[in-house]
Amino acid sequence: MEFIPIMLNVSSRDLVVIGGGTAALKKIENMKPKFQKVTVISEEFDSEFESADIRKVKMRLTDPEQLSGFVNKDSIVVIATDDRNMNREIRDYCSRKGLLFNSVDEADSPFIFPATFSSGGVTLSVSTDGRSPSLARFIRDRLKEQTVRYSLCLPVIQRLRKDVNFGSSKEKARFFSLLLNDEIFWKLVSDRKDEKAYKYGMDKSTSKLAK
């Protein structure tokens, strides 16, 4: 299978998780903040689900068609039951219906979840194309500290991106590449002096740095 990294806008989508065990709960914990509506369907739920602020539907699935009242074309389905045969039937159902789904026990889904970490609007995403989730998590955890540091500059860079003016996108890209390698800029950002960092960037945009 071949995958490409992609950021999906889920603001108008709902999340439907099938399964009430640990695997299901982990997916929900990672994704719940991104979705306005989360529904979990399972015959039984682990005790950790008791405090989860989500819609829980207690139902024994014997036929994937039972899902018809809970999913639609905008649903993202996560299949995480302990029954591999039922998981396969649900995958087939989702494929027939054209639903976007992920199955935790197989890598043949239309999409897979990378190991992610977010800080201040910057998201770190690491994937091994489904071959070793443990390695992906290992790499993510080693890069968390750097991600937090780099995210500090995002508000400043966002303002500069809007306000600096260059003749071409190539010149603009070169300016930001140089600025992000500028020690003085990073010192201002690290000291949380955003206004000074912004002014420094604007000054540099008209200096030899941007020429």
Return the pLDDT at 2. 84
Return the pLDDT at 105. 81
Residues of the chain with pLDDT under 70: 208-211
Which pair of tokens denotes residue 166?
């260059």
Return the pLDDT at 130. 85
Which pair of tokens denotes residue 195?
């206004």
Domain 14-113 coded CATH 3.30.70.100: no
Residue 93 CB burial class (10 angstroms; 0-12, 13-18, ≥19): buried
Rounded (10°) CA dihedral 142, 134, 108, 25: -90
Q: Where are the domains of the chain?
A: 14-113, 154-210
Which pair of tokens denotes residue 112?
């897979």
Return the pLDDT at 208. 53
CB 81 within 8 Å of CB 23: no
Say how many residues make up the chain: 211
CB 80 within 8 Å of CB 46: no
Least Cα distance to 103 among 75, 76, 137 occurs for 76
Record the pTM. Answer: 0.79
Q: What is the pLDDT of residues 92-123, one digit of tens each?
A: 999 999 999 999 887 778 998 899 999 999 99
Return the pLDDT at 52. 82
Q: Which residue has the tokens 């999913």?
A: 71
CB 84 within 8 Å of CB 115: no
Which pair of tokens denotes residue 98?
């054209």
Return the pLDDT at 211. 52
Which pair of tokens denotes residue 51?
């405090």
Q: Which helix (H) or strand (E) holds 22?
A: helix 22-31
